Amino acid sequence: MPSVKVLNQSDARPWHFQELLKSTGRWRIVIFTGNILSPSQKEKIWTLGAKLAAPESVIRRYTPANAESISATIEILAVHSASRTQVDIFDFPPIFRPFSATAGFDYGKVFVDDESYHEGHGHAYEAYGIDPEEGCAVAIRPDQYIGWIGEVDDYDMMERYFAGFMKGRGDGGMQGDIDVGDVLKSAGGGGSEAEHAERDSSVLGAM
């Protein structure tokens, strides 16, 4: 996949997109979320997040039950197109900001196509030919070739793509205490970082 610069949502550090796709043998699902400030787009992303976090999701089904991270087999990344300063990681579903009781939030999953302080603008959406309002979903193979592209909320086709060649774990896959209703109810929820941490911990369990 061609590399352009994107910014980390939390600290504004510029990254070449290829730097995020290290050769670890993992698959990646990159959700180009489009304009997350749009209520209709945000609803799509939170609905997708609930499906990705569900017990039978494409993420959990292929991740060993004893894996240290929900990202062990398939890593989820997000790149949005809104202004970085008008967005924070809590505008995204918990699957995009895994929480650990020992390490806290993982701030390395959400990125933005925006102007950096010192290194210009990567114009990722333009370079990849993606609609900055609607976005899209992309499955990237471990060899960094693109395996599938679909609409941003087309979970069914995403699931069908992986089911075509991957085998579900006989151990049931990685699980946790998940209530999809809680994931949806937390969409747009306010509160402090500690309150979000408590909520996410209960929703995502072992993530």
CA distance 80 to 83: 9
Cβ–Cβ under 8 Å, residues 36 and 92: yes
Q: What confidence category does residue 187 fall into, taking pLDDT thresholds of 50, 70 and 90?
A: very low
CA distance 142 to 159: 17
At 21-63, the pLDDT tens digits run 998 999 999 999 999 999 999 999 999 999 999 988 999 999 9
Structure tokens at 200: 């996410």
Structure tokens at 124: 């990722």
Percent of the chain's residues with pLDDT above 70:
81
Q: What confidence category does residue 136 fall into, taking pLDDT thresholds of 50, 70 and 90?
A: very high
**Nearest Cα to Cα of residue 28 among 99, 111, 116, 127:** 111
Instruction: Name the phi and psi angles at 79, rounded to 5.
Output: -130, 115
Q: Mark out the alpha helices in 87-132 (DSSP H runs).
A: 124-128
Work out the end-to-end distance of the chain between its first and last CA atoms, rounded to an integer number of angstroms.
Answer: 27
- Top pLDDT among 174 and 48 is at 48
Cβ–Cβ under 8 Å, residues 44 and 90: no
Q: Is 170 a residue whose pLDDT tops 80? A: no
At 7-18, the pLDDT tens digits run 999 999 999 999
Q: What is the CATH number of the domain that holds 44?
A: 3.40.30.20
**3-state SS, residue 113:** coil
Domain containing 102 equals 5-204
Half-sphere exposure (CA, 13 Å, Cβ side) for 52?
31
Q: How many domains are there within the chain?
A: 1
